Chains A and B, each alone.
Chain A
Amino acid sequence: MNIRLPYAGIVLLVGPSNSGKTTLLKQLVNNGQILPSEIVSSDECRVLVSDVEFIDWTQRPNDEAEGLFDAYQKISAEAFKLMDTMIETRCRLNKLTFVDATHLYSDDRKKYISIANKHHVPIVSIVLDVDQTVLLERDRNRENPRGSRRIKQQYQVFKREKRFMKKEGYDKTYFLSDTDQVEIFRENTNPVHLDVGNGIDIIGDIHGCYNELIQVLQKLGYMKNDEDYYVHPEGRKFLSLGDIMSRGPKSLQTMEFFLRHVEKGLAYMIDSNHGWKIARWLDGRKVTLNYGDELVEEEFIQFEEAYGIEKAEQLKHKLKQFLLAAPSHYVLTKNGVPTLVCAHAGIKDEFIGKQSAHISDFCRYGDNEGLDETGKPIRKDWTIHHKTKTLIVWGHDPKPKPLIMNNTVNIDQGVVFGGALTAYRYPEREFVSVQAEKDYSEGKSNPLMELKKKRLNPPNIAKFLNGYSVLTETFGEIKIPKEYAIPSIDLVSHFTVPIEEMIYIPPTMSPTPKPSALDDYLEHPKEAIDYYRSMGIERMVAEKKHMGSRGILFLFKDKDAGFKYVGRETLGVIYTRTGRKFFDEETEAKILSKINKALTSKDYFHQYGTEFVLLDAEIMPWNLKAKELISSLYAHVSENAILDRRLLKSKIERAVGQNEELVKWLEEYKDKLANAHVFKEVFQKYCWEINEIDEIQIAPFHLLAHSNETFFHKPHTWHMEKNKEFASMDNLFIETEYMVIEDEASEKEVVNWWNTITKDGHEGIVIKPEPFIVKSKGKLVQPAIKVRGRKYLHIIYGMDYLEQENLNRLKKRNVGKKQKLALREFALGIEGIQRFVNGESIERVHECVLGTLSMESDPVDPRL
């Protein structure tokens, strides 16, 4: 007899003592077909918990027998508990387990059926049906005979139970009378595992858009061979996430295409909601064909009309088999290690690599929570429960752009709704897509349109009120505590530009992690460079740090573009790092129009195919925004300091002749007066009169995004080149000096440059690793470190900060918290922009923006 064992699950052996269960398993171990560790036996568990395998209480006086019987019952109970734990654990880990016990009573067996169901693994039973005479004979010859009375009793139970076993719910039941005649076949690899091989191209929901399918395959490099198969010269294969049919124009053609390619081993396809429905319809089940499934029926009718009923039935049969055989999901492996999961609508971590009706259902429909008012399922976000490092690629729920969320990627871009067909190249992790030729849905509940319509809806406040967390691609989960979220909601409700226009808040930046090793400096470029080198970064960019106010410029190609992206006919918005409008309405309008004219005349928007530009910049002079602070704080302090010190100096000077000891105080006050003058000189350095907008300077240092892409993959040298390009287009933009650090010589040059400009009173420089986002040992590295000049720091740390005793104390500063915030805000900034560019809802963008604003309410030393 041939026995087929599943890859994982439970193999339940059933039979009275001496029926040969253990012998059969020993034989399989000896053949090398199974591992000893795959067997869980009740006898062995008894030994494990109590050191004895069997207790014989027969032939004993009554009282002793009863005592022994009790002991045996107790041991058995514990042994079975252990056994069940082992079995359950192995099921959870998707292992195959042979359960060696008599399993004579249906309750014992059902327990394992429910364990198997609970953990979504198959269960098969092997029933050893051996004559009573043989059983009794074997018992007499064994080391610890169970005794004929017990054997007979067991046999009676077995005979009674045998007939029920088939219907108990095993995936398969085998009856054996002779263990020698058995041949075991075992599935050694997980059937849902696929080796990545030369690469796999995962394709999102096609919905009968056959033309677009062919286009995307061609774009991916597949070529049609003589036999009409699309093959890749490098041996790559393609894998469909399901829903290849329904809603669209050419379902039949698409299904046939996949049928042929899957049969030939060139492609794969997984199960899906539409696929399952069509399969059951083809199987003759009673199903209502709707949501575009009715179009498939129409195509079959046409096919039948064209080719006759026989051909049609033949095709129907083949397609039915094909669709029913599609697995719930595939796990792609590299060198045997699972690295990526493909599932149609979603999957739970504990389902990965397993198969069951329940899993298939989940993978087809995702996590649904009832129906909404219009009868559509309310989809729950299953991705938040994904905790492992395996990437999950899914479709089913159309999104305007590939949606990367918590280590999952949605690649259904709604081609049938006029969107795009996306392919995900693995292991390259690249997206390739083609636009739909048209909207085939003809406007009938088009989810892409729905999303677009709802995109700018006000964010649901319930998401934020109790604190929340944001899943970022760059940093993972970032928690926003309630106590900081609420003041930020107030800020947004009173002072900031509209939520839909505030798509990015720049991150804070840390100064050098360590204070300067030099005696008379608090900060020095060396510590920043050393920090990056210690992270394994050799190439850095040093940019001049302008002293003005941070400004975000969100500039639209025209007012229509403004309306399209933020719901307002506007040329853009310029706002501060706390989200407030940077300029008064009139000035803003002038600046926006001037820049727009310049960019338009240089053909910028057209040349780069973009409808907006998002810039992170410093806007000068400082007094533009900080006029009040300069007057009431810096000027006020400098006037008082100079008045105080000047008067004291002259009073001491007048008296110094009379008392030698006063010389010391005089020297002290001469120095202090000089410090006060430095202070006064420094803060004026960043101020100038503004009469015309031309006197305003804008220094963009990051080109964050265009309407179709973000630029976080570009190095800072590229961003600096963009800075130059902007400076060449309009005189409001100014160029920023920068240098690359790559060796000792260039390091020295940067230090010299820093010394020169800071002596002149410039704020300092910012040192960044050359790439925008850098990780070291899996951890995000500070995206930028500021190194401020000796002179500038007078207005931060006080005019006397360089006095040795003050400096020594100030050097004990701790930048830990600042760095922590800098990383989180950096990740939130990137995340928000990416979401915006991907056309996600403003609520998802605001989550990031509100997050950064909240981080900024977390108090940190303002001098850092």
Chain B
Amino acid sequence: MQLTIRATGQDAKVISYLLAKNPNNLYERSVNGHFIRMFYSQFAEEEVEVTFFVTPDPIGLSSNQSEIYDITSYINDREFVVSSIFCTFLRTALGTALNGKPKEDYVSWVNHSFPLEFSFGPLASSLSNQEIEELFQPLGYEVAITYGEVDYRVNIKKKSTARYITLKGLTTLQKGLRQLFILIPVLDNYKHYYIDEKEIEKIERYGEGWLDTHPQRQFILKHALRFKEVYSLVERESEEKQSTAVEQKVRLNDLRYEKIIQKVNEFKNRETIIDFGSGEGKLSVKLGFVDGVKEILAVEPSESESIKALKRFEKVQEKENFVMPKQIIGSLFYYDERLKNKDIIILCEVIEHIDAYRLPKIMRTILHDYRPKVLLITTPNKEYNEVYQLEDESYRHSDHRFEWTREEFSDWCETQSEASEYNVTFDGIGEEHELYGYPTQMCIFTRKEL
């Protein structure tokens, strides 16, 4: 990680005073085993070039990493790229320049604009070159970007993910550095320290005189502050317009829940309900308000989803007539005797996440062992993808193992019920298309003896 500052013009040498660094000496400070270093590679009348860099202790750096036990905690780009870590390391070395507090004789130079060139890197950023340019060009810089090498024996990638940035412009040293101290962490999109309100204060200070008028101000703040909670202290997030596809999806989800709730209300027996693959608990929480329901078992194997669901349940726990769902860790691949003989089992958008060849066994467990009075299944209608203009053979969700046409689904349901004691009826959810039917299809298995 390195930053080279090059000044040209007749006053170039003043830079050394603004930095408070003697051009005849090397600078080296050790912080917890990491070396912060500086040297001048040019100190002439009309050209000064100085490089600051850090030689980190890789072992010390990795032991500060998160507790995730993964090789990426030990092998990663942090010891090479410019980042918030780099800025923290350099803060002391560049203190005089950043604060604009040189020796009295040079105070007047603090606000003097020099023809300056800042080059820094390597940079690991998810931003495109254009996005990077959009950050610096409004500040009056010419931006040049070079790449690392990708001369691999095998085709690993087309372009390197290591970039080196050079900015050229007429600016004061202080302002230039302050801009970098805000923008390097924005580019890197990773902060190594805890971000709280203090960060806002820093941004206000370093951003003085340029950030407020920057066309990318909102973007910079968002990336600099990283967390919604902190960011919202600065300003309210303006409502972003959601794309129509997302809108449709959200609406379909709601319609699906609505329809299921409506169906459940129609069933005579609805005291005990199992919501299989309950995820974040969106359906379970709605079932909790259905009249006549006494027990909801929300079955979900994922702990993180279950925690989200619990939060959702707890929010409405105190409301009248709410039946708190009981969370059960489990899945369709195991047998759980607590699920036997309930009124309703719901598989809402579940089966398409399971390899088709595993379905017979699951259906056997449900229909023969658990024996609910009603089994309700929903799954996407593949034909309707035409309406969404999905590419051929692509699924609505990357984890879908299959999506069925209406015929495939009904054929399958009929075979399941053939050998068992259930009648099947079909229905659809969403806006019906005259050719392709409903976006979501639904099948209800009802035990014959009832």
Contacts and interface: CB of A to CB of B under 8 A. Distances in A.
Contacts of A301: none
A631 B159 CA distance: 11
Interface in A779-817: 795-798, 800, 806, 809-810
B333 A647 contact: no
Interface stretch (A16-24, A598-606, A637-645): A637-645
A635 interface: yes
Given A635-B152, A665-B37, A640 B74 contact: no
A55 interface: no
A639 B160 contact: yes
Given A642-B148, A647-B121, A489 B301 contact: yes
Given A644-B1, A798-B74, A862-B74, A689 B301 contact: no
Given A461-B334, A490-B301, A647-B2, A637 B80 contact: yes
Interface residues of A, number: 63
B110 interface: no
Contacts of A798: 58-59, 62, 74-75
Interface string B52-68: 01010011001000010
Nearest to A465: B329
B69 interface: yes
Given A643-B121, A863-B74, A652 B302 contact: no
A458 interface: yes
Interface stretch (B243-251, B357-365, B430-438): B357-365
A347 to B, nearest CB: 30
Interface string B27-71: 000000000010111110000000101010011001000010111
A559 to B, nearest CB: 12
B53 A648 contact: yes
A798 B62 CA distance: 10
B71 A796 contact: yes
A370 interface: no
Interface in B70-89: 70-77, 80-81
A648 B157 CA distance: 25
A651 interface: yes
A213 to B, nearest CB: 39
A859 B67 CA distance: 9
A669 to B, nearest CB: 8
Given A684-B154, A795-B75, A462 B337 contact: yes
A809 B62 CA distance: 13
A52 to B, nearest CB: 65
A659 interface: yes
Given A567-B361, A643-B121, A862-B69, A490 B154 contact: no
A863 B74 CA distance: 8
Nearest to B358: A498
A859 B73 CA distance: 13
A567 B154 CA distance: 41
A517 interface: no
Contact of A643 (B4, B162, B302): B162
Interface in A46-67: none
Contacts of B75: 633-634, 637, 795-796, 798
B333 A458 contact: yes
Nearest to B74: A863
Q: How large is the interface on B (under 10, 10 to 19, 20 to 34, 35 or more residues)?
A: 35 or more
B150 to A, nearest CB: 7
Contacts of A405: none
Given A689-B155, A860-B69, A460 B58 contact: no
Contacts of A863: 71, 74
B161 interface: yes
Contact of B164 (A647, A662, A665, A797): A647
B184 to A, nearest CB: 14
Contacts of B156: 623, 630-631, 635, 687
A636 B124 CA distance: 9
A636 B162 contact: yes
B336 interface: yes
Given A623-B154, A860-B69, A487 B303 contact: yes
A806 B59 contact: yes
Interface in B342-397: 355, 357-358, 361, 365
Given A643-B148, A655-B40, A806 B337 contact: no
Contacts of B315: none
A459 interface: yes
B148 A662 contact: no
A459 B121 contact: no
A737 interface: no
Contacts of B121: 643-644, 647
A106 interface: no
A458 B361 contact: yes
Interface in B135-187: 148-150, 152-157, 160-162, 164
A264 interface: no
Given A637-B76, A652-B39, A493 B301 contact: yes
A809 B155 CA distance: 36
A158 to B, nearest CB: 61
A684 B336 CA distance: 48
A772 B410 CA distance: 53
A751 interface: no
A696 B216 CA distance: 49
B13 to A, nearest CB: 15
A728 to B, nearest CB: 29
A810 B59 contact: yes
A490 B334 contact: no
Interface string B305-339: 00000000000000000000000011111111110
A416 B160 CA distance: 71
A568 interface: yes
B289 to A, nearest CB: 28
A806 B79 CA distance: 14
B26 A461 contact: no
Contact of A651 (B4, B161, B336): B4
A668 interface: yes
B428 interface: no
Given A623-B154, A641-B80, A462 B73 contact: no
B122 interface: yes
A861 interface: yes
A457 interface: yes
A688 interface: yes
Contact of B39 (A460, A465, A659, A797): A659
A460 B154 contact: no
Interface in A667-688: 668, 684, 687-688
Contacts of B69: 859-862
A853 to B, nearest CB: 13
A286 interface: no
A655 to B, nearest CB: 4
Nearest to B71: A862
B211 to A, nearest CB: 28
Contacts of A493: 301, 330-334
A418 B77 CA distance: 65
Given A456-B361, A640-B161, A863-B71, 5 more contacts: A644-B2, A659-B39, A662-B26, A665-B37, A684-B154
Q: In the A-B complex, list the 10 residue pairs whose CB atoms are closest, starting with the nearest.
A: A493-B331, A655-B41, A639-B148, A461-B334, A493-B301, A639-B162, A859-B69, A643-B148, A640-B80, A490-B301
16 contacts: A458-B333, A461-B336, A465-B329, A493-B334, A494-B302, A498-B358, A630-B156, A635-B150, A637-B75, A639-B150, A642-B162, A643-B162, A644-B1, A659-B39, A684-B152, A687-B154
Interface of A: 456-462, 465, 486-487, 489-490, 492-494, 498-499, 567-568, 623, 630-637, 639-644, 647-648, 651-652, 654-655, 658-659, 661-662, 665, 668, 684, 687-689, 795-798, 800, 806, 809-810, 859-863
Interface of B: 1-2, 4, 24, 26, 37, 39-43, 51, 53, 55, 58-59, 62, 67, 69-77, 80-81, 121-122, 124, 148-150, 152-157, 160-162, 164, 301-303, 329-338, 355, 357-358, 361, 365
